[in-house]
Amino acid sequence: MKDTNFGTLSSCLKDNQMQLVQLLGKSTDLIIKELQPDQATQIAVIYIDGLIDTQVLHHSILFSLQERCTPDQLRDLDAGQKFELLHKRILMAGDMSVTHDLEPFIHQLLSGNVMVMVDGTPAALRIGLPGWEDRNVSEPSSQTVVRGPMEGFTENLRTNTALLRRKIKDSQLWLETFQVGRVTQTSVSIMYLTHIASPELVQEVKRRLGKIDTDSILESGYIEEFIQDTAGTPFPTIYNSDRPDSIAAGILEGKVAILVDGTPFVLLVPSFFVAFFQSPEDYYQRADIGTLLRFIRFLSFFITMLAPSFYVAVTTYHQEMIPTTLVISLAAQRESVPFPAVVEALLMELTYEILREAGVRIPKNVGQAISIVG
């Protein structure tokens, strides 16, 4: 297990820099910019290259430190007063906080924040300047609809929470964030309407998330496997979607949404078996049309599950249930088949799964040809 007991920050700026470089293994993307407004003041601006918005850093943070932090302002001030001057008057940022421990310092640094330290003060200023490249909000590919919103979740957690808040403009929509994964420290958030969702449900979701003990969380499928009730079923037990309207509808029904940073698929708990027969477009159809389409999905499900077994049972053990002309036709077709009906059905299912997997995994330019040939 990884030891994360780093202790507190030192009042010596050089010691903090040496410890930070040692912990990160002299990584080349670790940038430490040292400033010295006067002979008695040393300031360090620390960030990870590629995780922050460098334009804002140069035009706001560094500009403020170089132009507004003058020797006249720093004269006759001790280290603590200089730190408070930077915090309250010099640095202007909406997302700013103070960190005293080394463990949250490392986590915040690796999460796209700029850390500002003053020599002689065992603390650091955290300034939120995330600036990594994100995928734009686009049409979801897994659940397409003819009528409805054409926007889907992205891999950015904050973008996903904003998409949900755009649809539910209620102060009772609460958001709580946890760090899951000893190594990845992945941000996992839950969103729910506190006046609709059951308190017992919310506490149970928090309890199950808190019990997760693993090194990495790279996708919401990891969370799904850890919190599901049972793994002994071939059917999914937790609903997932990359459509904000579908997740927002579930939240309005009293469910809890689980969002994982780095994936566009959001989990919705608890889930019922009938929820997997619903389409996001059902909310935008007339009641009679939506009901008809849902009955068609139920019928298709039962045909898919029962048709192969019904075929094997009738052709093998209950031929008297089949009309005579059809029995003669089936007997003529199966005369040259060396396998029983059950093996034939299993081979058919296996062949279909192979073609489906090939159509999904191979490049799109060849996928259509494989489907046609299959």
Taking the model in full, what pTM does it have?
Answer: 0.79
Residue with tokens 């060396």: 338
Which has more pLDDT, 132 or 19?
19
Q: What is the pLDDT of residues 151-190, one digit of tens each?
A: 889 988 989 999 999 999 988 999 999 999 989 989 999 9
What residue has token string 């973008």? 159
270 prior amide bond cis, ω within 30: yes
The H-or-E segment that residue 84 falls in is helix 79-85
Crossing angle between the packed helical segments 199-210 and 220-227, to the nearest 10 degrees: 110
Retrieve residue 119's tokens. Answer: 């020599």
Q: Which residues are CB-neighbours of 373 under 8 A, at least 6 positions away?
A: none
Decide if pLDDT at 272 tops 90.
no
pLDDT tens figures, 42-56: 899 999 988 888 888
What's the average model confidence in pLDDT over 248-258?
A: 93
Give the pairing of strands 113-118 and 124-128.
antiparallel
The answer on pLDDT for 213 being more than 80 is yes
| Predicted pLDDT of residue 2 | 47
The tens digit of pLDDT for each residue in 116-128 reads 999 999 999 999 8
Mean pLDDT estimate for the chain: 86
- Tokens 């259509």 belong to which residue? 368
First to last CA, the chain: 48
C-alpha 208/C-alpha 220 separation (Å) is 14
